Structures are given as C-alpha cells and as structure tokens.
C-alpha cells in the first residue's frame, strides 16, 4: 500500500488534474463545443484513473486491517456515497425550474454560438491579418531579393569602375609618355628651328656677299664698256677679282659674335646640366668640376685637330679644280664655313671620351661612363670647330694647376680664398683671341695650391703633357697661318 501511495504522490495526478482544469477554464469560451466535451471527458477519464488507484489503496488498506478493521468506516461513509451515486433518484425540481433551466441552457447555447461566431470572426480576421502579413513578408522578401540584386549590380559596377579607373590611369600614363615624347619632339623641332635660324643667317650673309660681288661685277662691267684703254687693261688683268672678299670673310664678324655668345651659353647651360648629372654619381664637387674642365679642354683640342685634318682634305680635293681669284686657303675655309654640317662630331666625341678614360687626374665610378656628359662634349666640339674658321681663330687660354692667378683671365669661384695668389684648379677655361681675353674663365684659388700640385706631379706625370706635340709638328699642320707659342701650348697641353 505504501508503494502505491508513494507512486500516486510522485505522479502528482491531482496537480495535473488541477492544471488541466484551470487550462480548460481559460480556454472554455475560445475553443469549440466538441473541444470542450473532449476536455471534460479527458478530465473524467483522469478522475476515473485516480479513483481506481484510490480504490486499490482502499482495498489494500482494508486488507491490512484484517477482517473487521475499517468496517464501520466503510459502512458509514463509502456505502452511503456509492448508493447516492448509483441510485436513480427522482429529480426534485419543478416544471418551472426545468423550463428555467432549459431557457438558461438555450441562452447559454446562444451565447456559445455567438462566442463561436465571434471566435470565427476573430479567426477570420486573424487569418486575414496573417495573409496580409504573409503578403508583406513576401513583398519584403522580394525587396530583399531586389536589394541583393542591386547590391550585386553595384558590386559589379564598382568592379567595372575600378577597372575603368585602372584603364584611365594606364591611359593617363600613356598620355604622359606621349606628352614627354611630344616635348622631346618639340625640343628637336626647337633645335631644328635654331638650325634653320642659323641657316637663315648664313643665307643672309651669303646674300650680302652676293650683293657685294654683284656690285663688283657691275662696276667691272661698266669699266669694261668704257673707251679708256686703261680700264680694259685692268679688266684683262682683273686685279679687282683678287680683292673681292669671300663669304667667310664677309660673315667673320657675325660668326665671331655668335660663337662667343655660344661659348658663354656652354658655361651657363650645358656645364650646369653636366654638373648636375655627375653629382648623382660623384659626391666630390671638386672632382666634378675637374672632369668638366678637362672635358672642355680635350674637346677643343680634338675639334682643332679634326678641323686641320678636314681642312687638309678640302684643300686636297679643291686643288685640282681651283682657279678662283681667292687663294686655296681662303677657298678651303669658305667651303668649311658653308658646310659645317659635314664635320663628324661623333668621332670627336668618342675620341674625347677615350682620352678621358685614360686620364689619371680624374676618377669616375666604374658603373657609369663619360658618355653621361656627351652632350657637353658634342656642343663644345662644334663650337671649337667653328671657332677655327674665324680670322683670327678663337682659342682656349693655357691653364695649369698651381699657376699664378690672373684677374684678367679668370674670376674666382664662390668657394675660393680671395687672398690666395695661386690657382688650385680650374672650373672653366678662358677664351682668347690672340693675346686678348674675350671671355673670362673661372678658377678656384686656395692656399697651398703649389704644394698640392707638386705632390700630385711627384705621384704621376701629367698625361696631357705626355701627349703634347712638338712646335715643329704643330706648325706643319698649317703652313699659311702661324701660331704663337702661347696658343700652341694651349692647344696641345
């Protein structure tokens, strides 16, 4: 019995019955009639199960008490209760009460139907709201899908825009390269324009020369037509033709001014550009300035030698067919002035670079070459070659490290010691016409320059002097034009 009672207690059947009863009470007006009946039958079944368990406990308890224990309780309580439950007693209500009960039942049924109708209306409203909610949910889902599609489109557009931006960047780079190429083309056109201007000046000089020659020929024609025998004799001997100037002589002054100006431009433009290029590889400014100075001196020497060789070839070519009034020397110079473009400047540039490569006075990083300053060398060779066509020709002044500073030939650089009397090294050579200084050079003066020069000479002999030519050999190049010893030294040292 104790085990059965414990199992009944542990299952909490009465608590479950109470919970179901309360739940039915809450949902009574919401659920339908069939559902209410099902709930009631469920409660009756559960009550019957509990009563069956209680009757089993009652039986066990009565059995434990023996044959006579508990008889009085069963007689007084259980049997009367059973009789009341199973007896068919006559109802004690009247007809009016029954009618009233029927009316109440009808009223309850009506209320139940109304509640069912209201419940159905509420269910329909809820279903309608549910449908609208589902429609809204579907629309939201559709909007979400559209948003995803728009996001994908935006992503694709962003990727396309990024690719387009990269393409634009590449296009801009290509345009920049084209712009640089255009700039180079314009620079070349500008150089060509300068050449055209140079040719125009040459043509103008030639026109003036032809005008002068025309005037001379007209004067000669007038004299040949005169009845006087003396003019006819002079016409036969033609002394006026020997006095007619050549084109080189007519344009000497203009070419002189232009070349002097170009030499100054070499110092102001090409020299600074070369110095900027060299400073990228050589940190020592003194060595950079020495390299530029030696390059200019070697370029002038090479251009002078090329001029003499070119002049010899021209004279050799013109000598078989030369019958003009001017001398062969003047005819050769005039031909060179007219055909300066025939000068092989690249050969001179290569010669200068090879000479500088074996010069022990200067040092250069092994990973680069003197071709870096080939622009300065080329322009200097052109200017020096054209200077040899002047009368008298222009030349560079002799320069030597440790020489006495001459204020007429040089000006001191900004980093010089202005009280020092000796030249430490040269930055730019001076331009000479005979013994007169046309353009001053630039030099660096410092104390102890003579001692530094003597120490450098004790280490190695000067390669420039070792390659110098003798005065007799230098005179053999030009039999018609004599050179002073100073010019000769400046040319080959």
Question: Is 428 a member of any domain?
Answer: yes
Q: What is the pLDDT of residue 247?
A: 66
What total number of domains does the chain contain? Answer: 1
Q: How would residue 73 be classed by pLDDT, with cut points 50, 70 and 90? A: confident
Question: Is 324 a member of any domain?
Answer: yes
Q: What is the pLDDT of residue 472?
A: 31
Per-residue pLDDT, averaged over 212-221, amounts to 69
Residue 422, strand partner residues: 404
The rounded mean pLDDT for the chain is: 77
Q: What is the DSSP string of 303-365?
A: HHHHHHHHHHHHHHHHGGG--SSS-HHHHHHHHHHHTGGGS-HHHHHHHHHHHHHT-TT----
> Which of 16-25, 214-223, 326-335, 406-415 comes out lowest in average pLDDT?
214-223
Nearest residue to 363 (alpha-carbon basis) of 443, 271, 286: 286
Question: Is 282 a member of any domain?
Answer: yes
Residue that has been written with the tokens 């825009």 in this structure: 161
Q: What is the largest CA-CA distance in the chain?
A: 202
| Higher-confidence position of 294 and 484 | 294
Q: What is the pLDDT of residue 446?
A: 87
Q: Is the pLDDT of residue 481 over 70?
A: no
What pLDDT digit, counting tens, does each position of 356-374 carry?
Answer: 999 888 887 877 789 999 9
Per-residue pLDDT, averaged over 70-92, amounts to 65
> Which of 6-15, 162-171, 254-263 comes out lowest in average pLDDT?
6-15
Which helix (H) or strand (E) covers residue 61, if one does? helix 33-64
Question: Is 51 a member of any domain?
Answer: no
- The Cα 186–Cα 163 span in angstroms is 34
| Higher-confidence position of 228 and 58 | 58
What pLDDT digit, counting tens, does each position of 394-410 carry?
Answer: 999 999 888 898 899 99
Q: What is the pLDDT of residue 68?
A: 62
Q: What is the pLDDT of residue 415?
A: 86
Q: Is the pLDDT of residue 274 over 90?
A: yes
- The Cα 304–Cα 310 span in angstroms is 10
Nearest residue to 11 (alpha-carbon basis) of 52, 61, 50: 50
Residue 202 token pair: 């040459």
Question: Is 489 a member of any domain?
Answer: no
Per-residue pLDDT, averaged over 209-234, amounts to 59
Question: Is 265 a member of any domain?
Answer: yes
Question: Is 354 a member of any domain?
Answer: yes
- Segments forming the whole domain that contains residue 263: 252-445
Contact 41, 20 (CB under 8 A): no
* CA 478, chain centre distance (Å): 57
Q: How would residue 471 be classed by pLDDT, with cut points 50, 70 and 90? A: very low
Question: Is 267 a member of any domain?
Answer: yes
| Higher-confidence position of 377 and 459 | 377
**Secondary structure letter of residue 422 according to DSSP:** B
- The Cα 58–Cα 68 span in angstroms is 14
Nearest residue to 378 (alpha-carbon basis) of 341, 339, 345: 345
């Amino acid at each position: 019995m104790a085990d059965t009672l414990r199992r009944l207690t542990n299952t909490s059947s009465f608590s479950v019955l109470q919970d179901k009863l309360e739940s039915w009470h809450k949902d009574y007006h919401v659920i339908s009639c069939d559902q209410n009946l099902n709930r009631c039958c469920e409660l009756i079944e559960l009550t019957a199960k509990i009563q069956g368990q209680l009757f089993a406990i009652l039986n066990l308890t009565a059995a434990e008490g023996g044959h006579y224990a508990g008889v009085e309780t069963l007689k007084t309580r259980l049997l009367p209760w059973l009789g009341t439950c199973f007896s068919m007693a006559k109802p004690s209500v009247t007809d009016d009460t029954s009618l009233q009960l029927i009316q109440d039942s009808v009223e309850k049924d009506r209320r139940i139907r109304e509640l069912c109708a209201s419940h159905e209306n509420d269910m329909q409203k809820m279903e309608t709201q549910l449908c609208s909610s589902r429609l809204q949910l579907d629309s939201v889902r559709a909007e979400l899908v559209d948003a995803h599609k728009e996001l994908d489109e935006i992503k694709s557009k962003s990727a396309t825009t990024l690719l387009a931006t990269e393409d634009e960047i590449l296009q801009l780079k290509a345009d920049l390269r084209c712009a640089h190429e255009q700039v180079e083309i314009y620079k070349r056109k500008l150089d060509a324009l300068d050449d055209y201007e140079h040719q125009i000046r040459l043509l103008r000089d030639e026109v003036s020369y032809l005008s002068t020659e025309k005037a001379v020929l007209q004067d000669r024609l007038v004299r040949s037509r005169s009845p006087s025998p003396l003019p006819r004799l002079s016409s036969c001997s033609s002394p006026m033709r020997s006095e007619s100037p050549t084109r080189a002589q007519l344009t000497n002054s203009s070419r002189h001014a232009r070349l002097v100006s170009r030499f100054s431009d070499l110092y102001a433009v090409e020299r600074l550009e070369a110095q900027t290029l060299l400073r990228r590889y050589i940190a020592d400014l003194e060595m950079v300035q020495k390299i530029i100075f030696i390059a200019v001196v070697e370029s002038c020497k090479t251009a002078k030698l090329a001029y003499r060789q070119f002049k010899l070839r021209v004279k050799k070519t013109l000598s078989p067919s030369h019958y003009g009034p001017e001398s062969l020397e003047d005819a050769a110079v005039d031909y060179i002035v007219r055909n300066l473009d025939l000068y092989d400047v690249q050969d001179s540039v290569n010669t200068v670079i090879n000479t500088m490569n074996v010069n022990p006075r200067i040092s250069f990083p092994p990973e680069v070459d003197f071709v870096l300053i080939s622009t300065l060398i080329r322009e200097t060779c052109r200017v020096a070659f054209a200077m040899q066509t002047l009368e008298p020709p222009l030349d560079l002044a002799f320069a030597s490290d440790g020489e006495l500073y001459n204020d007429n030939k040089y000006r001191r650089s900004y980093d010089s010691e202005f009280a020092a009397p000796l030249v430490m090294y040269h930055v730019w050579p001076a331009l000479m016409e005979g013994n007169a200084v046309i353009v001053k050079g630039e030099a660096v003066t410092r104390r102890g320059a003579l001692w530094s020069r003597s120490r450098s000479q004790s280490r190695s002999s000067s390669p420039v002097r070792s390659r110098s030519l003798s005065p007799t050999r230098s005179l053999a190049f030009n039999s018609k034009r004599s050179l002073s010893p100073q010019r000769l030294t400046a040319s080959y040292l």
